[in-house]
Amino acid sequence: MPETLADNVANHRFELDTPEGMAFVAYRRVGDVLHLVHAEVPPALGGRGLGTRLVRDTLDLNRSRGERIVPVCPFIVAFVARHAEYASLVQGR
C-alpha cells in the first residue's frame, strides 16, 4: 500500500503511487479554493478502501494547509456527506 500522498502541482492532482498504478484526485484551483473534480483508483485495487484513504488523505492535507474545497466528484461529495468532520472545509459552509 502506498505511504504518502503527493501534490503534483504540475498535473493538478493529489497522487498515491501504488505498484498497480497511480491513484489520484484531480483538482482545479479557483482563487484560494480547490475544486476536487475526479477521484480514480487503479481497477486492480477497487473495493479495497484505497479510494476512501485517497480522499481522506487529500482532505486532511487540504485542512492542514487551510484550504477550502468544492467537492465536484460524486465519490468525494458522498464521502464528505458521510463524514461531518470534513464539512467545515467545504466552501460556503
Supply 49's cell numbers: 478502501
* Structural domain contains residue 1: no
Please give the residue range of the domain that contains residue 37: 6-89
Predicted local confidence at residue 20, as pLDDT: 86
> Residue 76 sits in a domain of what CATH number?
3.40.630.30
Hey, which residues does 79 pair with through a beta bridge?
Answer: none
What is d(CA 4, CA 58) in angstroms, rounded to the nearest whole number?
10
Digit-coded pLDDT (tens) for 7-44 = 999 999 999 998 888 999 999 999 989 999 999 999 88
Reduced to 3 states (helix: H, G, I; strand: E, B; else coil), residue 74 is helix
Instruction: Tell me the residue type at 14.
Output: F
* Structural domain contains residue 26: yes
pLDDT > 70 fraction of the chain, expressed in percent and rounded: 97
Q: Domains in the chain: how many in total?
A: 1
The pTM score is 0.92
* Structural domain contains residue 33: yes
